[in-house]
Structures are given as structure tokens and as C-alpha cells.
Structure 1
Amino acid sequence: MTTTEKPGTLLRILDYSSRADPYPLYAELRETPVALQEDGSYVISTYRELTDLLHNPHLSSDVRNLSHPMPSHEGETTPAFINLDPPEHDRLRRTAMRHFGPPHTPGLVTGMESDLTATVGSLIDDFAGKEQIDIVDDFAYPFPVTVICHLLGVPREDEARFHVWVDALINAIDYNPKTDPKEKLEKGVQARKDLRQYLGGLVEQRHGRPTDDLLSRLANDDGPDGRMTDEEIVSTANLLLIAGHETTVNLITNGMLTLLRHPEVLQRLRDEPGLVVPVVEELLRYEPPVHIIPWRAAYSDITVADTVIPQGSQIMLMLASGSRDPNRFHDPDRFDPGRRDNQHLGFGSGIHLCFGGPMARLETQIALTELVRRLDRPRLVADPPPYRRSPVLRGPIHLQVEQGDG
């Protein structure tokens, strides 16, 4: 099988002009399931090949296994477990999960439902009297930020500080030395240092003074795998802080945008609140919050769709493309909450399946249910809305909605 794609398809996907609708370009990309790029990296875009790789033990998540270093990871001494391989990945994930979900804390997520509903209700109460609302600034951002700060034990009043750092980190994820100013990378590297120093200070305060938050539990609990080092706790907290709100902001915003584009589904959800569970699952397939895993590394030579990918090669996984693959999903470009066998890639797959998926699902289910129930005849102000710069974590930067008579 050839490994050359249509010239420039990936570059067009990464270009900001395609952010509002990359899906036709994903269809082009799928014509060549394994596409060799000019820089020697490989792009994987079809469902079968993506799922095979995500479960392949020869695929590494550790940047140190790449033949060429990744500039965006410069200065990273203790990677988060999402960027590690077994057995270290397994140890750190197990230790974190002891305090975040089953089997040790099975009721953590479901036990927050009433608090989440109250937070959502309070935010929507503030819409009163407003003819126009920004779903991002007024709702989809403050909601998950409040939740993850509470879970971790990060002061909510510090949000303005870490918001700047998180933005710089995300902007640097897809840094390309050929096309991007070096300032973009430098800001990302400095933001990583600043955020880790900030979180390190919070961890240091927790030693010997246990409370109920996750930072305190990690700093004071000796589980079966032993206690994390402070550096490991900081890396884990860094991951959860970023992933715990950035992806959920996108999922809620993409969800509201999709419902407003499909008023018949919005009305059904208003009439049948229980429909929200399959609605959110279909959103994770149809308009996911994470579109691309920018890199993985080949431990050894890997054969994918009759193409040999050499050891050390960078591999880019186009998750959103796989979830629209017509060889796996019937009529994939149609938003269908009644879809059966919806094994999407919205939260990835394999050992790195999204750690916070259960929380993101519940937050989005509550958010969309209440928005649909309480907004008065909502209408989009602009379609498409303005999008964030990142092709990796894709979602509107603003979503202006009118309500009432207008």
C-alpha cells in the first residue's frame, strides 16, 4: 500500500482556516490510512488502524522513544502518566485512580451530581435578563474549572493565573519549527515551568496536613504501589487540571452548538431528558473535544495496513477522523443520538483511555440538560462561531447565543 497522501492534506487540517469544518479533509486523509509526511512522521486516520495502534504494546507514549526530540516537551523532566508506558504508567495511574474512582472511591463522581447541578443552576440563573449569552465565557468555562479546582484543592481565585499558563501550553502542543514563531514554543516551555512551580507549592503545603482534596490524598496516602514523589504528584495534578477542564469546555460547547444546529434533537431532549446519555455519546463521536493525539512513538518497527513504520518514528493519531470513518459507522456525518454500537474514539482507547471520562460525561449531561430546559428559544448569533487556534483540542472560543424574542 502506498504511504503518500494528497499533497498538503495534513497541513490544511492544521491550518486555522479549516478549524470550523475539518471533516471533509479527514475524508481525504482516510483515502490513505497510513500517510508518510515530509518530516518522516506518519499520520493514521482510519478507525481500524487507529484502534489497532491504540492497543498495540509496540506503540510508545513516551517522548523519549522518538528518534527526533519534540520541542514542545523541552525541559519536561517528570512526564505525566499519559506520556509514560507500562509499568510506570500503570503504577501512577493506579495510584491516582485510588482517589478518583472505582474500586477504592466508587461514589466520587456520582456523589457530586447534586453539587454539579447546583453549580450549573447558579450559572444559568445569571443569564436572567440577558438577551445574548456567550456559552463559553458565561457557562462552559467556569463550570468545569470550578469542579476540577474543588476536586484537586486548587484555589478557585487562582484561575486567572493558571488560565494564562494553560493557554500557552495548549498553543505549544502543535508547535512547528518551520511555520511557527519560536516565541510560541518559549511561552509554552515557560508556562510549563510556572504551572509546575505553582502546583509544587500547593503539594508542599499538604504534607502532614491532610484534607479531602486530591492533592492532599496523593501527598499523604501510602497505597499498595507506594506514595508518589512530589514531582509525580505535580505531573499528575498538571495533567488533571488541564484535561479536567479544557476538554469538558469543548465538549459542552460543541454539544450546545450541535443541538442548536439540530433543533429537532434539542426539542426531543427538552421533552425527554433521559435522551441526554446517548446524545453525549454521539457528541463524543460526531464533535469530539480532542481531535488529534499529536504524537506517539514506535518502540520497534510496526506494520500498519501493510506499511512498515520504522522504530522511533513519530506517529500522529487522527481520532476525530476515525470516529467519522464510514467503514465503521453508518452515515458517519449525520448526528444520530439513536446510533447503535457507538464505540467512538472521543476519549481515546486502550491503556490511555481518558482518566476523567466519567466526570466529563456527567458534567456534560447535566450542563446540556439544564441549558436546553432553561434557555428561552435559544438561537445562534453566528454560525460558524470563532474557533480556538488549536487543531488538537478543537472547540469554539466563543459561542454567542440569543434567547427570548430577540
Structure 2
Amino acid sequence: MTSGTISAQITDYANRADPYPLYAELRKTPVRREDDGTYLVSTYHEVRSLANDPRLSNDTRNRPPGLARTAEAEETGLPPSFIFTDPPLHDRLRNTINRPFGPPHSPRFLDDLRGELAEVVTELLDSFEGKDQVDIVDDFAYPLPVTAICKVLGVPREDEPRFHGWADALASSLDPQAGEEGRKKGQQARQDLGAYLSDLIETKRRHPGPGILSALAPDMTPEDLEATAVLLLVAGHETTVNAITNTTLTLLRRPDVLDRFRKDPDLAVPLIEEVLRYEPPVQFVPWTTALADIDVADTTIPKGSPVWLMLAAANRDPQRFRDPDRFVPDREDNEHLGFYTGIHYCFGAPLARIELYLAVPELFRRVKMSRLLEDPPPYRANAVLRGPRHLPVAIEGLTD
């Protein structure tokens, strides 16, 4: 096994626009030990196996002493949300939260949001009227998911703007290279959001209304419910922003695929799934820890070792996907890891897919985008939740 600091290159902002050559290099050693004792796992079957292995812990309290944790582990007075727990606690929390969110208990909850979200998409696109350029992130991809998650939670519409800053600070703090300042900003955002949610949850207890906070208030402690809402904001917002923006960027770079997509709207589902493979919004999972010695790919990961599961590298593994570095809009057998796998499979994936299937076809149906104004665009600082910070494009009109 080789050692080195390829993780530092992956998290280096200089490589944010195109980390894929680094992932290709990484796959040459499917399980690689870094100098600090972290193990990077980069091939598809090995990532999938470990993501489903109960000997790999998501609980950041199991991280080795002195190793940076996520913003979830900061001393904010709240427990970690369910994504940063292991069974049986994880299963109890996730099953409780799922009851008002989706099937089998609430089969129509998400479907009933489609009409409201479609109206939001229309309003955002209407605002492009009279402009010759727009920023796909600030003007479209960023506002839609925060509105969606606020509707899911039951947040009043007038409070939605406050969630933008909180979501950005929280997402940035998850970057392994966030530094002390980034972690402090994330901690402050989590505290401010927690205080807001504490008041909102108490209001929902006394006066139940729409949204899952009202439904969950009788079954969860205020602290667990606050932690869950914080998680849903980050997971339900930042990842969807990146998915919409990465899809737009990918299509604008490929006029032939875009032309085919405009002529065949039914291509939307396989095309978006291919983007989730090709440019996944979550690049890797950097917070897992081995609870026992784990043998994988002729390597033993020792008990107590931090492990990074490199989803984006696995999604381009030629042992799993034919011609993986080529974007194939109607790719078959596309069981990608864009939403992870196992018990920690993305809780918000059904909502994210609804937003993507509503937003992307309508964006390209109504807006004639002539060219990218900056390529590569500036990217967010976060290496984990990777996506453009801005995506300026020139437009030539808007259809009804």
C-alpha cells in the first residue's frame, strides 16, 4: 500500500473545478492509507460494501482524539442528527422522522408539494424577463430548494431568506479544510438556527400546522427535532442546489445533448440520474470510523481508523461503469452512488428528485441560454458538497 497526501490535493481549492484526474489516480490503490492514518476507499464495489458494513460507524464521537469532526460534533448543546449516529439510535430516529415525510405512513406528503414547487419554479423563471444574463445559482438553483425545505418543515414564507445564510455557513463548515473560522461560523449558524427552530417547534406544539415539525413534535424531544431540522436544511438544500447547477453546466457544455433533451423531455429522468453519477453533489463521505479491523481489497483497515468513502471516484470506476468518464444521457444500469447507499442513503432523495424533475426541464424549455459566461465557473469552497458558487450565463429571451 502507498501513502501520501492525495486527500490534501482533493480538498485543495485549486482542484475543485476538476477533481476527477485525482480520483482516477486514487482508484489505482482502491484502499489507500494517508500519512495521518486516514483510509481513502475509491472503487465502486469496495465503497458500496463498506457503506453497508455495520463495522463502519457514522457517529463522529467515535473519531480518533484530535481529529477534526463535522459541524455536527461542535459543542452547540444539540445532539448529533441521525446521519451522524449508528443503530439502534439511528434507526429509531430515522423511522420516526420518515412517518410524516413519506410512505407508508404519509404517501402523499411529497407529491402534494409538486404544485407549490412548480409555482415557485415559474416565479423564479418569470424574473428572468428582460435580462440578458442570469446567475443560475443565485437566481434559480439556490432559492428553489430553500423554499422546498421550508415547506417541508413548515417554516413561514417570510422567514425563508434567513435560511440562506444559515445553510451556506453550515455547508461550508463540513469541508475538511474549513479551518477554525469556518467551523466557528458553522457553529454560530447552527446555534442561531437552533434558537429559531426552538421557538418554531414550541409554536407548532401549541398550534399545529402544515409541515413535519408539527407532526413530529409529539414524538421527538425538542433537541432531537432541532438537530433533524438542521440536517434537513443542509442535506435538503445544498445538495439540490449543486445538482441543479451541475446539470445546467453539464448540458451547456454539451450542445448536442442539450438539443436532444429539448426535443425529448422524456429524457429528463435518465439524464438527471446520469448527472448524479457523473457530477455527484456529494463527492465523498469523510466522517466514518472503523469500529473493528476490516479487510477490504487485500488491505486491513485497523480498528479506530478514520475512513473516507469516495463516492465521486466510485461513480467513475471503469470496473462498474462502461466508459465512465463519458456523459451518457440515457445510460442503462446506472446504479450510481450519487445519493449514497445503505442505511444512510440520502433521506431527502425523493424530494431532491422531485425538485430536479420539475426545475431542469422547465429551465431549458423556457430559457434560451446562449453561452456560459465563465467556464470553469467559480466553485464553492466545500470539497464535500461540490458545486459552482456562481454560474453566469447569457440568455436570449424567455418563453411562456
TM over 0.5: yes
Which of 241, 245, 253 pairs up with 1:253?
Answer: 245
Distance 1:285 1:245 in 2: 19
Distance 2:165 2:90 in 1: 28
Distance 1:147 1:160 in 2: 13
Gap regions ≥5 residues in structure 1: 221-226
4+ runs of 1 displaced by more than 6 Å?
none
Distance 2:179 2:148 in 1: 35
Distance 1:311 1:182 in 2: 28
Which of 292, 306, 313 pairs up with 2:298?
Answer: 306
> CA 1:387/1:51 → structure 2, altered by over 3 Å: closer, same or farther?
same
Residue 175 of structure 1: how far off its partner (Å): 3.9
SS in 1 for 2:396: coil
Residue 192 of structure 1: how far off its partner (Å): 2.1
Question: Contact between 1:250 and 1:396, CA under 8 Å: does it hold in 2?
Answer: yes
Residue 204 of structure 1: how far off its partner (Å): 1.3
Question: Contact between 1:66 and 1:298, CA under 8 Å: does it hold in 2?
Answer: no
Distance 1:41 1:371 in 2: 41
> CA 1:229/1:377 → structure 2, altered by over 3 Å: closer, same or farther?
closer
Paired letter, 2:114: E
1:369-399 deviation digits (Å, cap 9, x = unpaired): 0011111243211111111000000000111
1:332-358 deviation digits (Å, cap 9, x = unpaired): 011102211101000000001111101
Which of 224, 230, 238 pairs up with 2:222?
Answer: 230
> CA 1:117/1:164 → structure 2, altered by over 3 Å: closer, same or farther?
closer
Question: Contact between 2:136 and 2:245, CA under 8 Å: does it hold in 1?
Answer: yes
Residue 110 of structure 1: how far off its partner (Å): 2.3
Q: Which residue of 2 aligns with 1:388?
A: 380
Question: Contact between 2:167 and 2:237, CA under 8 Å: does it hold in 1?
Answer: no
Question: Contact between 2:166 and 2:189, CA under 8 Å: does it hold in 1?
Answer: yes
201-210 or 13-22, which deviates more:
201-210
Pair 1:270 & 2:286 matched: no
Q: Which residue of 2 aligns with 1:147?
A: 148
Gap regions ≥5 residues in structure 2: none
Within 5 Å, give how 1:277-356 maps onto structure 2.
277-356=269-348
Distance 2:103 2:179 in 1: 44
CA RMSD of aligned residues (A): 1.5
Paired letter, 2:141: A
Distance 2:144 2:150 in 1: 10
Paired letter, 2:285: I
SS in 1 for 2:206: coil
Distance 1:247 1:203 in 2: 25
Pair 1:205 & 2:208 matched: no
1:11-34 deviation digits (Å, cap 9, x = unpaired): 111100100000011001111111
SS in 2 for 1:98: helix
Q: Which residue of 1 aligns with 2:188?
A: 190
Question: Contact between 1:10 and 1:29, CA under 8 Å: does it hold in 2?
Answer: no
Q: Which residue of 2 aligns with 1:118?
A: 119
Residue 71 of structure 1: how far off its partner (Å): 4.2
How many positions carry a matched residue from both structures? Answer: 393
Distance 2:22 2:292 in 1: 30
Question: Contact between 1:174 and 1:294, CA under 8 Å: does it hold in 2?
Answer: no
Distance 1:138 1:390 in 2: 20
Identity of aligned residues (%): 55
Provide TM-score, normalisation by structure 1. 0.93
Distance 1:367 1:181 in 2: 34
Q: Which residue of 2 aligns with 1:357?
A: 349
Question: Contact between 2:6 and 2:34, CA under 8 Å: does it hold in 1?
Answer: no
Question: Contact between 2:38 and 2:306, CA under 8 Å: does it hold in 1?
Answer: yes
142-151 or 72-81, which deviates more:
72-81
Paired letter, 1:335: F
Residue 130 of structure 1: how far off its partner (Å): 0.6
SS in 2 for 1:26: helix
Question: Contact between 1:278 and 1:338, CA under 8 Å: does it hold in 2?
Answer: yes
Q: Which residue of 2 aligns with 1:74?
A: 74
Paired letter, 2:372: L
Distance 1:298 1:232 in 2: 25
Question: Contact between 2:120 and 2:144, CA under 8 Å: does it hold in 1?
Answer: yes
Residue 219 of structure 1: how far off its partner (Å): 0.7
